[in-house]
Amino acid sequence: MAITKDEVMPIHSQEDVVRVRQLVREWAIAQGFSLVDQTKLVTAASELARNTLDYGGGGNMKIEALNSDKRRGLRLTFEDRGPGIPDIELALRDGYTTGHGLGLGLSGAKRLSNEFEISSRVGEGTRVMIARWK
């Protein structure tokens, strides 16, 4: 798998969450994603960026264009140095929230992605990687 380029974007404010959505849409268009797939990826990115800000205290997103002979895609990795998630299985359940949301952020992002990985250590932070293929 050849990665053609990547970019890292900080997430420290609501304005950064908006910029994440814009950047992901731009990259999805450049990769040739359909409008439906663009929307799925932007929605997942928005949820994860908001979680990075609200629960992780801020962090960053790395976006990578994935290109091989057979397919194209995007990989987004969100990282924070927040309090971490003590029970990932519980956090992935629809309806579970530690805040005031609907509890669909992580589980929704997982459903909207072709690949989803999460790792978290209490007191050290959380890393969520999603990928979507064209």
Under a CB-based contact definition with an 8 Å cutoff, are residues 104 and 92 in contact? no
Please give the residue range of the domain that contains residue 13. Answer: 2-133
- Domain of 67, CATH number, reads 3.30.565.10
Type of residue numbered 113: S
Number of compact structural domains in the chain: 1
pLDDT of residue 100: 56
Rounded to whole angstroms, the Cα distance separating 114 from 130 reads: 7
Rounded to whole angstroms, the Cα distance separating 30 from 50 reads: 24
Cβ neighbours of residue 36 under 8 Å, at least 6 residues apart?
A: none
In the predicted model, residues of the chain with pLDDT beneath 50 are: 1-3, 102-103
Q: How many residues does the chain have?
A: 134
Rounded to whole angstroms, the Cα distance separating 100 from 37 reads: 28
Rounded to whole angstroms, the Cα distance separating 36 from 54 reads: 27
* pTM given for the model: 0.89
pLDDT of residue 97: 63
